[in-house]
Structure 1
Amino acid sequence: MASLEILPSEHPGEFIAEELEARGWSQADLAFVLGWDVSQLNRLIKGKTDVTPDSANMLGDAFDMPAEFFMNLQKQYDLGRAKKADPGVRTRASWAAVFPVREMIKRGWIEDTESSLLDVQMVRFFGKNRRDEVPFVSEAPVIAHAARKTSYSEILPGQYVWLHRVRSVAQTIDCPKYSEDALRGVLSTLRSHFIDPDDLPRIPTLLKKCGVRLVLVEQIAGSKIDGVCTWLDDQPVIGLTNRLDRIDNLCFVLRHEIEHVLRGDGREDTFAPIDDFDGNLGSGNPDLPECEKLANAAAADFCVDQAMLQSFILRKSPYISEKDVRAFAARAQIHPAIVIGQIQHKTNRHNWLRKYQTSIRAFLKEWEAVDGWDEVARVEL
């Protein structure tokens, strides 16, 4: 009996011919066994026809061998003759299996070009020198020398991409040296800009004078991101997504990230943990790191004085009227939607007075550094 070794370039007919010789059979003998014409068998042996599932079953019975063996012979022969795959397939697959490459191309972050340049573009996008320095496609850590590695253990590839887009856009902004005193000094002015949405476009300039770059980058589809505090050469950058597109969320997230800046969170690691409302912006989570608890407390009190708000809720619950809210917002000198957002959170009534939670995207698109919603910031790779 002939060897069962499968050679990639061997047509099944060659094996059948060897098997006939080993058994001392003629083609006419095997044709008789199979119930074929000799000419039909001869075409198969000469490689002019191929093994089919039906003929594989018949050959298996004739030679007392698994039919799968003959099908595998045919498969290996076909693969050996097939056109070699474009090397770019493996390159594209290795990146696309981890990162949202198609979305990055669609949003103009990298070019839709030949695959030989994809490695170069992706490595440059992440500010690395080599592919093996990029996390998620190599063993490289997200942060090489993180002081609190557990703070970054849950970061996802899509969030990592978004973070680097924030950093790239921020590098295009000319900004004076960061001053903590100046930032603390403008907090009251910053809060006054949340009384009227028409004042929201003034916020980036206000922060930039303190040395803080403010960047708005639309989130990556499917990833929950609300904000981040990141650092470029000791210069703070605040990245926001406006994911929920509500003024109360904007106010909270912005002040949360400002607190990270004031405390220097993430300064040694290049960025603080990426924040989202289902994670470290959830003030009810007892397992939050201390820096997140402090940032949440500062953000909540910035939106509305918490003692004042708690007193109001106790006095007016469970029937807080729209008129009551507007009067309270006037006393607190803040937009009513921010008061409503805080009450919704505290009372777990998320649809209450929802009509006040209107879109603010049009106001934010006037900011200096905006990327997303059909806007593409100019960034050099």
Structure 2
Amino acid sequence: MSIANEIIAPGDFIRRKMEEQDWTQSDLAFALGTSTAAVNQILSNKRAISAGMASALAVVLELDAKEIAKVQAEWDIETAGAPDPSITSRSKILRQYPLREMMKRGWIDTKYREGTLEEQVCRFFNVSSLDEVPHLAHAARKSRYDRVPPAQLAWLFRVEAIALEMVTPRYNVEKLKAAVDEFAKLKTKTDGVRHVPRVLEEAGVRFVVVEGLPKAEIDGACFWLDNASPVIGMAMRYDRIDNFWFVLRHECAHVLHGHGKNEAIVDCDVQGQPSRNVEEEIANREAADFCVPVDRMNNFYLRKKPYFAEKEVEAFARIVGTHPGLVVGQLQHKMGRYDFLRKHLVKVRDTLSSSMMMDGWGNLVPTER
């Protein structure tokens, strides 16, 4: 309890009240029905005053039990000392980043890697101190990542760490254009996705797949390690053939147009949200036209609406040279019926994993950082 801005020890507080009644330790012990030794321990602050003892002392000294308990609580806090600095660091990180999930996935591994948790977090974000980690710095300090939410940023840094380990030829824009042409043929087949890593590597594009973090809602990203090293990251948030090809072509558009060189582009819900800027409008338009030519899709939709027979959908997919799942995906979006012909929205993640290492889903890509 604070008396004249003074934190008083519980034993001293009780002693003062005893003196006001001219009581000795023996008197107090007698009134409490306990030993003098027990009273001495309280008065010398060697024994904390429990809730039961506070109630008993309140009766014999004519005090408020809550007042005695408050004296003990304030003294406990005053004498507890500063908490372990690691508690401050952990809570500071956890307030911004999904730290436990990052540790669960092995991105930060205090068990097998050298260094404290704080040092490993700094290594993950490639900085020298926690104050330099984006979103952990003082509010007045700005960084290039201020517009990227923490969970998305952690995912982005993981993609970068893996991309830095990859060895690819120098980026060639003409080869990427040729790669997109090859993708147009591959998208007709259910297992066409397994060739994507090889085709992008030959064009000098680092292709990284990292499972998205909870609530991050990431589809993909585009950024450059330098002017000759573009990176395409994908989260495979929806394991569906239509989403895979749309997001991939969306990110390829960013690379082909040189987007993301000054600041990483993180794309979330690319098929469900309207374009946010010119760059996104370009990428969305090219991705949609790649999956199913927009004019032909609109014409088919208007001609057949409101009845879309499965055989007609399959025939239309063959005519435009695409997988039926890509047509179904477009129709579901237009109709707002996400149960329509779902069997055609085949899963592709396992097929893709047969031709590349993917980070997440129980797997960890080893990195130096």
Task: Name the TM-score, length of structure 2 as normaliser.
Answer: 0.87
Over 3 Å counting, the alpha-carbon distance change for 1:372 and 1:128 in structure 2 is same
Gaps spanning 5+ residues in structure 1: where? 147-151
Q: Please tell me whether residue 275 in structure 1 is matched to residue 267 in structure 2.
A: yes
State the match for 2:295 in structure 1: 307
Tell me the matched-pair count: 364
Distance 1:325 1:359 in 2: 19
Moved more, 63-72 or 37-46: 37-46
The CA deviation string for residues 259-306 of structure 1, in whole angstroms up to 9 with x for no partner, is 11122222112x11x2122xx5434x37x2222122111111110001
Distance 2:126 2:141 in 1: 13
Match of 1:102 among 100, 103, 111: 100
State the match for 2:198 in structure 1: 205
What does 1:56-71 correspond to in 2, within 5 Å?
56-57=54-55, 59-60=57-58, 66-71=64-69
Query: What one-letter code is carried by the residue in structure 1 that aligns with 2:7?
Result: I
What does 1:231-242 correspond to in 2, within 5 Å?
231-234=224-227, 235-242=229-236
Distance 1:29 1:141 in 2: 61
State the match for 2:126 in structure 1: 127
Distance 1:84 1:317 in 2: 69
Match of 1:265 among 235, 242, 259: 259
The CA deviation string for residues 184-236 of structure 1, in whole angstroms up to 9 with x for no partner, is 23322112111112221111111122221111111112321110111101221
Query: What one-letter code is carried by the residue in structure 2 that aligns with 1:259?
Result: A
Moved more, 167-176 or 90-99: 90-99
Q: Determine helix, strand or coil for the equivalent of 1:371.
A: coil
Distance 1:186 1:263 in 2: 15
Q: Please tell me whether residue 18 in structure 1 is matched to residue 16 in structure 2.
A: yes
Distance 2:209 2:268 in 1: 15
Match of 1:52 among 50, 53, 75: 50
Match of 1:156 among 149, 155, 161: 149
Query: What one-letter code is carried by the residue in structure 1 that aligns with 2:267?
Result: D
Gaps spanning 5+ residues in structure 2: where? none
Q: Please tell me whether residue 223 in structure 1 is matched to residue 216 in structure 2.
A: yes
State the match for 1:180 in structure 2: 173
Distance 1:43 1:109 in 2: 51
Query: Structure 1 residue 323: deviation in Å?
Result: 0.2
Distance 1:171 1:143 in 2: 25
Over 3 Å counting, the alpha-carbon distance change for 1:289 and 1:61 in structure 2 is farther
Q: Please tell me whether residue 192 in structure 1 is matched to residue 191 in structure 2.
A: no
Distance 1:3 1:29 in 2: 26
Moved more, 35-44 or 180-189: 35-44
Query: Structure 1 residue 55: deviation in Å?
Result: 3.9
Query: Structure 1 residue 60: deviation in Å?
Result: 4.7
What does 1:214-363 correspond to in 2, within 5 Å?
214-234=207-227, 235-269=229-263, 271-272=264-265, 274-277=266-269, 280-283=270-273, 285=274, 288-363=276-351
Over 3 Å counting, the alpha-carbon distance change for 1:367 and 1:133 in structure 2 is farther
Q: Determine helix, strand or coil for the equivalent of 2:106.
A: coil
Distance 2:303 2:3 in 1: 90
Over 3 Å counting, the alpha-carbon distance change for 1:83 and 1:332 in structure 2 is same
Q: Determine helix, strand or coil for the equivalent of 1:370.
A: coil
Distance 1:68 1:102 in 2: 39
Distance 1:318 1:200 in 2: 32
Task: Name the TM-score, length of structure 1 as normaliser.
Answer: 0.85
State the match for 1:149 in structure 2: none
Q: Tell me the C-alpha RMSD between the 2 structures.
A: 3.0
What does 1:160-171 correspond to in 2, within 5 Å?
160-171=153-164
Distance 1:133 1:140 in 2: 12
Distance 1:140 1:371 in 2: 32
Distance 1:81 1:130 in 2: 30
The CA deviation string for residues 93-135 of structure 1, in whole angstroms up to 9 with x for no partner, is 3323322222222222121339962121111111222221111
Query: Structure 1 residue 57: deviation in Å?
Result: 4.3
